[in-house]
């Protein structure tokens, strides 16, 4: 009896899944997906790093590649990259680390075909990594990237 119920449940779930597939559009306009007015607008994304590292991780490279793909066919007017660091360690070391993180992201974006003259790099070090109450802010091992783009 239990096996029959499992088979029935599996068949029902499969039928529901297949019917959901048929509800979507059959044909997609590739050009509309690649270059739409919304695609060529300001975008913000974060690139995360391992602790005390300035080397890009695989997920970070994927995020950069995805954004580069989304902005193909757009004119990139500026890219602001702000490097950040956590509050652990000395302030001068954290500032240096955040500068290296911003540079690593800018180099990866340039390798992805973005125009280097449009970059504005900044580093905040561990400034803002601790609240006024002394609580450490989570996820400070990152860069913040703001891209301004317009249609060609």
What would the pLDDT profile of 82-104 be if each residue is shown by its tens digit? 999 999 889 999 999 999 999 99
What would the pLDDT profile of 136-147 be if each residue is shown by its tens digit? 877 889 999 999
pLDDT of residue 79: 93
Domains in the chain: boundaries: 36-151
CA quadruple 32, 112, 67, 57: dihedral, nearest 10: 150
Q: What is the CATH number of domain 36-151?
A: 3.30.1330.60
| Cα gap 124→108, rounded to integer Å | 20
């Amino acid at each position: 009896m239990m096996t029959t119920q499992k088979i029935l449940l599996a068949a029902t779930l499969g039928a529901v899944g297949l019917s959901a597939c048929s509800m979507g559009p059959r044909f997609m306009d590739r050009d509309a997906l690649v270059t739409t007015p919304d695609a060529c607008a300001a975008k913000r994304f974060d690139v995360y790093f391992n602790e005390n590292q300035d080397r890009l991780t695989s997920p970070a490279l994927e995020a950069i590649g995805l954004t580069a793909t989304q902005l193909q066919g757009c004119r990139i007017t500026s890219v602001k990259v702000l490097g950040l660091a956590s509050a652990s360690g000395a302030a001068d070391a954290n500032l240096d680390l955040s500068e290296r993180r911003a540079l690593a992201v800018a180099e990866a974006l340039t390798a992805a075909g973005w125009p280097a003259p449009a970059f504005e790099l900044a580093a905040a070090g561990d400034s803002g990594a601790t609240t006024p109450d002394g609580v450490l802010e989570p996820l400070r091992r990152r860069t913040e990237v703001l891209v301004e783009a317009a249609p060609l």
